[in-house]
Structure 1
Amino acid sequence: MNKIIFFVLARLYGLYFNILALFSKKLAAEQAFTVYCSPRKGRVIDLQADFLNEAKDQLISIGGIKIQVYRWKGSKETVLLMHGWESNSFRWKNLIDYLQKEDYNVIAFDAPAHGNSSNKSWNVPIYADCAHRIVTLYEPQFLIGHSLGGMAALFMQYSYPNTSISKIITIGAPSEFTQLMGYYKNLLGLSKRVMNGLNDYFKFHFGLEIKEFSTAILAKEIKIEGLLFHDRIDPITPYISSEKVHQNWKNSTLISTSGFGHSMHQEEVNLKILDFLNSSK
């Protein structure tokens, strides 16, 4: 029943945007993108609160958004963790346990509109800008991103290549914004006029058309070492996303799994992450 209600509401939103676009393509695109970037969940729930509260570090203002940073202190290199859509820093609990045993200094932060951070909306460029500010402050050597957190991590590295980061790991990360916006278009039944408006919106605000917003393309410019995890039957993000990135990211390795799902909390994954962080070329 909930799925039916969700579908009906999505179609009603789409009908509204399609009608609005007949009068103002720009306004329809702005409102459609705002809805797209507004998470329905991801705030900290009770069972997550104790773990995160004990590690609270700074609350940093970035572009008017209050970003909550967490820290698990260690004497080795600093690792920065970036969670995905409708999630928060608690998603890293299993991996943090492994990293702490190796005495890594671990930093995580809640994306805008997620966890204990403020704001009502979120997008990849804003997330990447927040990550860059965190990188500037904490100077991590390693960056790990899950799902859209992985996409934002690569976009950050492309946009700001001269940072302290020497290795990036992505887990189940998408690569093509055309695929993400295509899903949104089909879900809401958006018209071609609305989609053209969204493309104009992207070009104006982010300097890229939707088809150009591709980490597979941007990866050609990334020089540091990378490791990509992706399950062949990932139900959320298609496996081909990491294949495309790997093909263009010369200094990367792709680890493929089968049956690990999208979250990939398995011990095998965590141990391979540690191996990669501990290795040197």
Structure 2
Amino acid sequence: MIKKIVPKLIGGYLNTLALVAPSKVGEIGFNIFCTPLAPPVKPHHQQFLETAQLFRFTSKGVDLQGYQWGHGKKKIAFLHGWQSHSYRWKKYIQSFPQEEYTIYAFDAPAHGLSAGKYANIPIYSDAIKDFVKKVGTIDFAVTHSMGSFALMHALHHHQHLAVGHFVAMGSPGEANDFIDFYKKFTGLNDRTFKYIIDHFEKVLRQTPDYFSAPAFAASLKMPGLIIHDEGDEEAPYTHAQRIHSAWPQSQLITTQGFGHNLRAPEVVEMVKDFVMKEQLHKMGA
């Protein structure tokens, strides 16, 4: 009940503010939209993450937490989604032999053990760019949800970014999906919503329509794997189909019963198989 009431209270506050302080409501509403309710890093999360070599790096003045396991020649990077952190990759990280792979992850801005108050696609995209600059060429990037969308944005804007292969899991499709959900979830009226969209466009210098995963995917030059569950209730399966159609060198694996999180052992094996096959293909080329 409380989870349903709080968003409506926020929406009511913003709708009222639009009447008495219209010059402020756009910024406040946009900042709320970009504020993740990120889950805490619990003691058992911390215990696993501390098995890594920890490092820090900065993006746009924000201090971010990075992790490194192993010392192998091939580099794999794991990028989590909205309101998550690097622990979500535990099963994946443990599936790769550390003598063969150097495995990286980092907590996105305003997530996990990273600093920052806000996150959105451009903020996360900038963090990915700075992360790759820090660690060097990534042979395989394995991403989930918003992490997939953000990497597509980063590669679209920085086509020199050194990423060899890309696994996109449970990717959203359009920024408008998030925005429409925000409006409905909080009960924003049209006037308030327009102020927020105006501020969105002022800050990001683009309309919401611009932020489209299929549009970004069309410029991807590397081989990729898309994994998406037919029953995904957070990122509809149709997004995966559209991304696959737009991405020239992609393959699509459709799952059933694994939902949005895609943490099942079967999915871990799909990712591992893709990495192994692409390595063999490159060796035989």
Q: Please report the TM-score for the alignment, with normalisation by the length of structure 1.
A: 0.93
Cα distance, 1:31–1:246 mapped onto 2, change above 3 Å: same
- Partners in 1 of 2:79 and 2:204 — Cα distance? 21
Matches within 5 A, 1:130-279: 130-139=127-136, 140-278=138-276, 279=278
Q: Which residue of 1 aligns with 2:13?
A: 16
- How big is the shift at 1:218? 1.7
Cα distance, 1:25–1:215 mapped onto 2, change above 3 Å: farther
- Partners in 2 of 1:83 and 1:155 — Cα distance? 15
Q: SS at 2:96's partner residue?
A: helix
Q: Deviations over 1:61-110 (max 9, x none)?
A: 22221100000023131111111111110000000011236721101001
Identity rate, percent: 32
| Preserved contact between residue 66 and residue 118 of structure 1 (Cα < 8 Å) | yes
| Preserved contact between residue 69 and residue 98 of structure 2 (Cα < 8 Å) | no
Q: Deviations over 1:36-81 (max 9, x none)?
A: 2222232311111111122142111222211000000231311111
For residue 6 of structure 1, the aligned residue among 3, 26, 45 is 3
Q: Deviations over 1:86-135 (max 9, x none)?
A: 11100000000112367211010011111111122211211110111011
| Preserved contact between residue 42 and residue 85 of structure 1 (Cα < 8 Å) | no
Amino acid at match of 2:94: D
- Partners in 2 of 1:255 and 1:102 — Cα distance? 29
- Partners in 1 of 2:221 and 2:198 — Cα distance? 30
1:71 matched to 2:64? The reply is: no
- How big is the shift at 1:222? 1.6
- How big is the shift at 1:150? 1.1
- Partners in 2 of 1:232 and 1:215 — Cα distance? 18
Amino acid at match of 1:204: K
Structure 1 range deviating more: 222-231 or 190-199: 190-199
- Partners in 2 of 1:14 and 1:98 — Cα distance? 44
- Partners in 1 of 2:23 and 2:233 — Cα distance? 33
1:123 matched to 2:106? The reply is: no
Matches within 5 A, 1:29-44: 29-44=26-41
Cα distance, 1:198–1:223 mapped onto 2, change above 3 Å: farther
Q: Deviations over 1:249-272 (max 9, x none)?
A: 111111100101111122222222
1:99 matched to 2:103? The reply is: no
- How big is the shift at 1:275? 2.2
For residue 50 of structure 1, the aligned residue among 47, 50, 58 is 47
Q: How many residue pairs end up in the alignment?
A: 278
| Preserved contact between residue 15 and residue 189 of structure 1 (Cα < 8 Å) | yes
Listed as ranges, the gaps of 5+ residues in structure 1 are none
Amino acid at match of 1:5: I
- Partners in 2 of 1:145 and 1:27 — Cα distance? 35
Q: SS at 2:254's partner residue?
A: strand
CA RMSD of superposed structures (Å)? 1.7
For residue 112 of structure 1, the aligned residue among 106, 109, 114 is 109
Structure 1 range deviating more: 207-216 or 55-64: 55-64
| Preserved contact between residue 56 and residue 68 of structure 1 (Cα < 8 Å) | no
Q: SS at 1:50's partner residue?
A: helix
- How big is the shift at 1:23? 4.7
Amino acid at match of 1:180: F
Q: SS at 1:93's partner residue?
A: helix
Cα distance, 1:267–1:6 mapped onto 2, change above 3 Å: closer
